[in-house]
Chains A and B, each alone.
Chain A
Amino acid sequence: MNLLAPQAALAAGVLGALGLGLARRPSALGARLLALAAPIAALWLLRSEVPGVFGPLVGVDLKGLCWQLVIFAGALPLAFLSSGDDVEAALFLGSVLGMSLLAAAGNLIMLFVGLEFMSLPAYLLVARAGEGSPRLRLEAAVKYFFAGALGGALFLLGLALYYADTRGFGPAMGPLGLQGQAGAALMAAGALFKIGAVPLHWWLPDVYSAAAPEVAGFLATSMKAAAVLFLMRVVSLAPDAVFIRALPGVGALTALVGAFFALRQQRLQRLLAYLSLSHAGLLVIGVGAWAVLGRAQAAAASLLFYLAADALMSNGSFAFLKASGAATRADLRGYAAGAPGVAAAFAVLLFALAGIPPTGGFVAELLIFWQAVHAQLAVPIVLGAVAALVSLGYCLSLLRDLYFEEPGAALAAPQGCAASGARIVVLVCAIGTMALVFAPLFLRGLAGSVWR
């Protein structure tokens, strides 16, 4: 019985982490091992999953399996950098479990269960994980909670309207009526809330910049991947829904807002948050192109590749903040003189984030734009390209700060296990980003051999 084996592994991890908490002095090593072992086991067990429909609730398809691959892989850096707190480990694994349940959902009810399951632990994780004063984190977590609750409520309202029209929780059989159209649009709004698309993005910069860097990396990669899959599932319900025509425009607007607001940020984590918002915009354009192209597999594959590249770029750049201890752009001045290796890795990640050629980030952006060209989305492409140009500007200015500025006040580099772990994550992510350039050559063979 291989059905839902990855989910079972993650659930066992959650229970194990809580079980550690029953001890008088919970073992930090045990919590770390569990946080790392459960996602790896889930990745391993994913191989044995077979696509198919199992009962009314569970539907495993190739898209869900591929997305779980990215979700688990994107969660590994946070697992690797986990603090050894048993509750944090349980929250982290619970959130990943919710994402994989969402990926294996067979109908809308299960999709909602997955959505809530992945969101609730994430709110607590934002509040709990990290060092220093929790005041800002608490504020961000409350903001995140209310934004998420609003998104969930929109989705539920849409679900009710959709059910009233189609009498089902699956794909619509015929053309949608007025209620069904409104329901699909509301459900999509719930998904766009989770992605952080403009104008539903107001929570995102605050949450990403107040959370611990590694948690922000987790939210920007695994959570974003799950949210994009969520939006794609809603699009699949009713391919003729009216809201789909708005997706490329919303995506272009998000990309522009993210890129322009990042220009003025002095705090690095907030800058990366807006950059992540800009990437989310490109993803929404990609989903729009995928819908216009009749849900073509090639378009879905380009989204998957973008998310895989993002898992490396975003996790790596957020981990750099932890590794270097740099909080503002002023802290970066002349950093390369002190730590050439980490600085070079961060430079590679910046190149990738800006989409400059010899990196995976460039290939990923090219694939999305390529699909958008196929779908003949001229205006969103131009706006997305403008956003990419603008982000080029500050990514390059960060590089100038790193290499060509005189060091200001000496930055106290964080010592200890966590900082060296973060350094390893930065290096691995930078190497992976470079390696992804060659990935399109092998992907066809890989996809064929893993799930046959």
Chain B
Amino acid sequence: MSALALFALAVNFVAVLGLTGLFANAGKLFGPKSVRVGDADLPYETGLPPLSPAHERMTVLYHRFAVLFVVFDVDLAFLLPWALNKPALTAGAMAAITGFTFVVLFMLAYFWRKGALECR
């Protein structure tokens, strides 16, 4: 715990604050600042006037899909290191990954059966 370590910690702290502040405000700092008049400043969707405000509240149902997607996405990402390690695979590894895949499939079936995949 030397003075150098304290200095490094301080630099780290300043760098984190500075960089996050920079990224959050980069658009304001470096973006074009041309002043537009008339219809040029109106928001649009594919050339049409927007139907509703952009900051609309979404139904919480979408959240369920998002969470389910993340869960299964991460589960399938676990298959990747297993597949890349092909030369070292034994029967035990095969059995383990089969069991894992079975559990993932079981959970998918569970959510399906419980109606969690229906948009209601």
Q: Which residues of A come within 8 Å of B, CB atoms?
A: 15, 18-19, 21-22, 177-179, 181
Contacts and interface: CB of A to CB of B under 8 A. Distances in A.
Interface of B: 1, 5-6, 9, 103, 106-107, 109-110, 113-114
21 contacts: A15-B103, A15-B106, A18-B106, A18-B107, A18-B110, A19-B106, A21-B110, A21-B113, A21-B114, A22-B109, A22-B110, A22-B113, A177-B1, A177-B5, A178-B1, A178-B5, A178-B6, A178-B9, A179-B5, A179-B9, A181-B1
Contacts of A15: 103, 106
Contacts of A21: 110, 113-114
A78 to B, nearest CB: 23
Nearest to B103: A15
B93 to A, nearest CB: 13
A276 B105 CA distance: 41
A179 B113 CA distance: 49
B60 to A, nearest CB: 14
A132 to B, nearest CB: 25
A322 B115 CA distance: 34
A21 B1 CA distance: 56
Contacts of A18: 106-107, 110
Nearest to A11: B103
Contacts of A181: 1
Contacts of B107: 18
A181 B103 CA distance: 40
B82 to A, nearest CB: 15
A202 to B, nearest CB: 27
Contacts of A179: 5, 9
Contacts of B6: 178
List the 8 shortest-distance A-B pairs measured between CB atoms, nearest first.
A178-B1, A22-B113, A178-B5, A177-B1, A18-B110, A177-B5, A22-B110, A178-B9
A243 B106 CA distance: 45
Given A21-B113, A22-B110, 4 more contacts: A177-B5, A178-B6, A179-B9, A181-B1
A22 B5 CA distance: 57
A186 to B, nearest CB: 14
Contacts of B113: 21-22
A278 B58 CA distance: 44
A21 B110 CA distance: 8
A216 B1 CA distance: 44
Contacts of A178: 1, 5-6, 9
A116 B114 CA distance: 24
A18 B104 CA distance: 13
B55 to A, nearest CB: 24
A444 B109 CA distance: 49
A19 B103 CA distance: 11
Nearest to A22: B113
Nearest to A180: B1
A198 B5 CA distance: 32
Nearest to A161: B9
Nearest to B113: A22
Nearest to B6: A178
A69 to B, nearest CB: 27
B43 to A, nearest CB: 35
Contacts of B9: 178-179
Contacts of B109: 22
A376 B102 CA distance: 55
Contacts of B114: 21
A18 B110 CA distance: 7
Contacts of B5: 177-179
A21 B112 CA distance: 12
A192 to B, nearest CB: 24
Nearest to B114: A21
A19 B105 CA distance: 12
A15 B103 CA distance: 8
A181 B9 CA distance: 13
A443 B107 CA distance: 43
Nearest to B112: A22
Contacts of A22: 109-110, 113
B4 to A, nearest CB: 11
A178 B107 CA distance: 44
Contacts of B103: 15
A177 B6 CA distance: 10
A181 B106 CA distance: 44
Contacts of A177: 1, 5
A179 B10 CA distance: 12
A177 B5 CA distance: 8
A19 B107 CA distance: 9
A15 B110 CA distance: 10
A119 B113 CA distance: 26
A429 B57 CA distance: 51
B17 to A, nearest CB: 16
Contacts of B106: 15, 18-19
